[in-house]
Structure 1
Amino acid sequence: MMDHTHSNGCQVPEDQQTKIDEIRKLLGPLPEKSSIYCSDECIARYLVARNWNVKKALKMLRETLAWRLHYKPEDIRWEDVAEEGETGKIYRTSLKDRYGRSILVMRPGYQNTKSVKGQIRYLVYCMENAIMNCEPGQSQMVWWIDYDRYKVSNISFKATKETAYVLQEHYPERLGVAILFNPPKYFEPFWKLARPLLDVKTREKVKFVYSDDPTTTEIVQDLVGIDSFDSFDEYAARLRFDFDEYSARMREDDIKVSLFWKTKQVNGSVLPSFSDFDEDSEESSRRNGVVGSEIKSEGEIVEINGHG
């Protein structure tokens, strides 16, 4: 049986590629951004989430495409959600785990707003940013859920239900592992209520870790790669949050997001990763047909953010 190679370098068995091609055919012509979104790797994630059942995966993917057309997650910018992010209740650390996965820190005890709608919008922004910052060939991330300052008043079943729905229905197979760090005793009854909201695959990825329990911290050492630090506490300290520093990082990433989508739309080539826009930005811009604030392709100039 012949294997196929995706743009991320992964080998795909022929029978799986046949199902990917079948879904692509059934989807038919798509709007430009939807077409960009539906890479082979993307379609494969939906198939995996539905145990390679084409009919179920197709339904799930179509619902996500409809959601993305309406919600426009790729158009959310830091300035739109900065108020939600002031306390660092969700943020992407600059660290990666040993597999090159982005680490998204979630601190429910630092909740600073009441609107579930606003909270979900910020979560979506953070998810999109973490995905963009995964290393080439890596599509999953780590959630580090820190229960520092967590109180009973922080418990919101409505927000949890909405979060579980968005993440499972529209970001399938994006979670590598979820580390619940030092959850208090009074979290246990809530977990019993929330657990059924998660599918079996997701529940298996949830790991409870306590800083005073070596048997659980070993889980983190193995999965996240803490052994490269002097201690567990040193690693946890590296997950710190500084609003001004983080805001600057997110604004830089927002520029890369514009380049990311518009380069693909103009060039029609393999979708670039964020790494293509790091290091020497001018050199990477030339590689992707981008010079300064413009994208140039076959004599055509497309302005970004209204600047030429």
Structure 2
Amino acid sequence: MSFKRSKSGTEKTLSTEEEQIKVLEVKKLIGPIAEKCPVLCSDASILRYLRARSYNTKKTAKMLKGTIKWRLEFKPEKIQWVDVAQEAERGRLYKADYLDKQGRNVFVIRPGVQSTNTPMAQIKYLIYCLENAIWNSDSNQGQMVWLIDFQGWNTSCLSMKVARDTAQILQAHYPERLGIAIFYNPPKMFESFWMMVKPFLETKTHKKVIFVYPANARSCAVMEEHLDMEKVESYFGGKNTVGFNYEAYARKMKADESNISRIFDLCYSSSPGLSVTSASVSEEASSEIAICSNLEDADGSSANGKQDCSRMDPYLTEKDRSLSWLIWH
């Protein structure tokens, strides 16, 4: 085991062999549930949760159990294009049809474009996009690039409820998915706010944030280092003048849905009665309740002592919420 020094303290790093030992420890703590959800409890998935919890196996197991319970309750893999099409229409958030130079998916986020839908509709669409990028992608990378355009952004674009709920979902159930976040041409008011929030963020997190200004040659070089500017949209200084095409995007996303469903059918079919394609809804529900009851202390207990499958990660901090507020709103 080794350690790297950072401004915020000491960051733990493990060898491949040490990581594998930790993965096995987490699987042991989770128990037979790991076999029932092989995709969510794969080595790669567990490693992301371990890194998010600084390799603390007990906290990692608790966090991962929380995600399993959340997925059984929320069923993100069941969200379909018809459920989110209206929210996608304005192009406030979408998965780009190109990857960065490391082969990572690129999310274009335009917080200055107002959403006309409810906070729940915005969150559901975000989850839909994340699921698509993770389970149905040509990318060979588990991480993503967030490309944020601040054109039209002002304080009226802020929604604390969406920010809070978004942060909770991202940090609790999609850990270690951020590769880099490029803040493109943010206004002065945002820069001031960032300087106040930055000290509350972990060093490894805020180091992933890059500020880019179109009038600055060095900033332009950073964009070219990470992205093929022939493919990047013109509002980011690229040569793609078409930008977001809703019709083409809708066709692509709908075509992806069958593959996502197939992956999760395989994930749950290993557990009798838990198959998401089960003809008996009541049997499926009973099996899910049984699994939730075995996920002891994943998220705490409700007042009557029963486990609540809808609650989220108790380790979420104000640091986690701050970055999400900046990026998504």
Which TM class, normalised by the smaller chain length?
Answer: 0.7 to 0.9
Q: What's the Cα RMSD here?
A: 3.1
Q: Is the 8 A contact 1:134 1:140 kept in 2?
A: no
Q: What is the CA–CA distance in structure 2 between the aligned matches of 1:138 and 1:222, rounded to whole Å?
A: 17
Instruction: Confirm whether residue 173 of structure 1 aligns to residue 173 of structure 2.
Output: no
Q: Number of paired residues?
A: 261
Partner of 2:100: 97
Partner of 1:76: 79
Q: What is the CA–CA distance in structure 2 between the aligned matches of 1:250 and 1:153, rounded to whole Å?
A: 30
Secondary structure of 2:94's counterpart equals strand
Q: Is the 8 A contact 2:98 2:105 kept in 1?
A: yes
Residue identity opposite 1:108 in structure 2: P
Stretches of structure 2 lacking an aligned partner (at least 5 in a row)? 1-14, 272-276, 280-329
Task: Give CA-to-partner distance per residue, 1:251-291, whole Å, 9 cap, x none.
Answer: 001122122223455589xxxxxxxxxxxxxxxxxxxxxxx
Runs of 4+, deviation exceeding 6 Å: 231-234
The structure-2 alpha-carbon separation of the partners of 1:44 and 1:169, relative to structure 1 and needing over 3 Å to count, comes to: same
Which of 95, 116, 131 is the aligned partner of 2:119? 116
Q: What is the CA–CA distance in structure 2 between the aligned matches of 1:21 and 1:89, rounded to whole Å?
A: 41
Residue identity opposite 1:257 in structure 2: I
Stretches of structure 1 lacking an aligned partner (at least 5 in a row)? 1-11, 269-301
Q: What is the CA–CA distance in structure 2 between the aligned matches of 1:141 and 1:239, rounded to whole Å?
A: 23
Residue identity opposite 2:24 in structure 1: D
Residue identity opposite 1:204 in structure 2: K
Q: Is the 8 A contact 1:93 1:239 kept in 2?
A: no
Secondary structure of 2:145's counterpart equals strand
Task: Give CA-to-partner distance per residue, 1:7-35, whole Å, 9 cap, x none.
Answer: xxxxx722211110111111012287733
The structure-2 alpha-carbon separation of the partners of 1:27 and 1:243, relative to structure 1 and needing over 3 Å to count, comes to: same
Q: Which has the higher contact order (CA 8 A, sep 6+)?
A: 2
* 1:139-158 alignment runs, 5 A limit: 139-158=142-161
Residue identity opposite 2:226 in structure 1: L
Task: Give CA-to-partner distance per residue, 1:144-191, whole Å, 9 cap, x none.
Answer: 111122233112233223322221221111110011111112223443
Q: Is the 8 A contact 1:46 1:57 kept in 2?
A: yes
TM-score (norm 2): 0.70
Mean Cα deviation higher: 212-221 or 29-38: 29-38
The structure-2 alpha-carbon separation of the partners of 1:106 and 1:142, relative to structure 1 and needing over 3 Å to count, comes to: same
Which of 31, 41, 45 is the aligned partner of 2:44? 41
TM-score (norm 1): 0.75
Instruction: Confirm whether residue 185 of structure 1 aligns to residue 158 of structure 2.
Output: no
Partner of 2:204: 201
Q: What is the CA–CA distance in structure 2 between the aligned matches of 1:161 and 1:194, rounded to whole Å?
A: 15
**Percent same amino acid at aligned positions?**
41
Q: Is the 8 A contact 1:101 1:134 kept in 2?
A: no
Q: What is the CA–CA distance in structure 2 between the aligned matches of 1:188 and 1:74, rounded to whole Å?
A: 37
Q: What is the CA–CA distance in structure 1 between the aligned matches of 2:260 and 2:29, rounded to whole Å?
A: 29
Mean Cα deviation higher: 245-254 or 133-142: 133-142
Q: Is the 8 A contact 2:229 2:239 kept in 1?
A: no
